[in-house]
Amino acid sequence: MSELNKIALKIISHGKGILAADESNGTMTKRLKAVNVNSTPENRLLFREILFSSECMKNCIGGVILYDETINQTTSFGKSIPDLISASGAVPGIKVDTGAKELANSPEEKITEGLDGLRDRLKKYYKLGARFTKWRGVYSISNKYPTRLAINSNAHALARYSALVQESGMVPIVEPEVLMDGDHSADVCLSKTSEVIKKCFEELILHKVDLSGIILKPNMILSGTQSKEKISSEEVSHKTLECLKNSVPSDVPGIAFLSGGQSESEATENLNLINKNNNTNFIMTYSYGRALQQSALKVWSKNIKEIEETQKIFNHRAKMCTLAAQGEWVSKLESE
């Protein structure tokens, strides 16, 4: 077993999942503004420190994705944030892309940037304690999109990023996110997501990336948010499994879904059924941002000194997601 494969498995085995706490300062400001909290470095740290000190970090959270600001911060007890995370048994990770920008010659689409100087930044993050990384490519669906240009260029960037990350001794999370916005059906989402993921693996293989040392972070197969078609969780699970079974090479150890704007309960129920119906050899778990933090953030925002209640809510959410990652979640547990 390679070192990278061991790190990947440590993050996603036994129902553990990933806390995506890598919101950029811009995104975090939006989230905090929505609950009337000032977005200062101190407040961003305070909320995150509360999460990273929670009980569920030991048994539910296998890895935490950080943003550059946070990986350089120190807790109120003088510990570095990566040390706090490692002390709980979870693996510290870092978002290394520098954001999705307008794609030249298809300006309504996006290309993710951040390759220039990446090798040196990775060395710095490794020294700070990171052992895995994230890069997100983003694609929208419409009758014109995603274009072949967006699919190919983002896959190329994801592969170049992954090769550099593995060279630096870390596990790359490969995140091609096909967005939920639009009035498309789930079947269109299935065919577009399959095309996107297949192209990513074509490029990853061309760039000689060790597939046993990556984690794929895809979207689930859903109908568009403006679509009249509403499909059941059971259908979501079957279409998602069909997509991954046909697009992901078997060397990949695991898949950690993004929540992408699903509610906490949708993201939990869908993951649970994916695991119940899992007819693949892949570990299927979560790498949620909003679907892990939303309720905790709401409670915390009422009194930012309130640690216990905030942690209680976060612990509960993480426990539900971890049960779902093992196909053992039932809705009545939500109210217990």
Question: Annotated catalytic sites, by residue?
Answer: 175, 217
- Answer for which of 260, 269, 283, 321 binds ligand 13P (CB under 6 A) is 260
- Answer for which of 70, 237, 259, 285 binds ligand 13P (CB under 6 A) is 259
Q: Does 258 bind ligand 13P (CB under 6 A)?
A: yes
Q: Does 291 bind ligand 13P (CB under 6 A)?
A: yes
Q: State how far the Cα of 285 lies from the Cα of 86, in Å rounded to an integer.
A: 20
Q: State how far the Cα of 304 lies from the Cα of 108, in Å rounded to an integer.
A: 39
**Stretch of residues binding ligand 13P (CB under 6 A), selected from 70-78, 86-94, 268-276, 288-296:** 288-296
**Stretch of residues binding ligand 13P (CB under 6 A), selected from 187-195, 230-238, 284-292, 296-304:** 284-292
Residues written for the chain: 336
Residue 40 CB contacts under 8 Å (≥ 6 apart), including other chains:
none
Q: Does 121 bind ligand 13P (CB under 6 A)?
A: no
Q: State how far the Cα of 4 lies from the Cα of 250, in Å rounded to an integer.
A: 16
Q: State how far the Cα of 128 lies from the Cα of 320, in Å rounded to an integer.
A: 31
Q: Does 289 bind ligand 13P (CB under 6 A)?
A: yes
**Stretch of residues binding ligand 13P (CB under 6 A), selected from 4-12, 109-117, 232-240, 282-290:** 282-290
Return the number of the residue (238 or 290) whose C-beta is nearest ligand 13P. Answer: 290
Q: State how far the Cα of 120 lies from the Cα of 168, in Å rounded to an integer.
A: 9
Return the number of the residue (79 or 98) whose C-beta is nearest ligand 13P. Answer: 98
Q: State how far the Cα of 121 lies from the Cα of 143, in Å rounded to an integer.
A: 38
- Answer for which of 288, 300, 314, 329 binds ligand 13P (CB under 6 A) is 288
222: tokens are 């859903």
Distances (CA, A) of 120 to 166, 173, 274: 13, 18, 38
> Which of 124, 121, 149 lies closest to 135, judged by CA?
121
Site string for ligand 13P, 207-246 (x = CB under 6 A): ----------------------------------------
Size of the site for ligand 13P (CB under 6 A): 10
Q: State how far the Cα of 271 lies from the Cα of 260, in Å rounded to an integer.
A: 13
Return the number of the residue (161 or 288) whose C-beta is nearest ligand 13P. Answer: 288
> Which of 17, 22, 97, 96 lies closest to 63, judged by CA?
17
The CB-nearest residue to ligand 13P is: 289
- Answer for which of 4, 20, 90, 179 binds ligand 13P (CB under 6 A) is 20
335: tokens are 């109210």
Say whether the peptide bond before residue 92 is cis (omega within 30 degrees of 0).
Answer: no
- Answer for which of 110, 136, 184, 199 binds ligand 13P (CB under 6 A) is 136
* Residues near ligand 13P, by CB under 6 A: 20, 136, 175, 258-260, 288-291
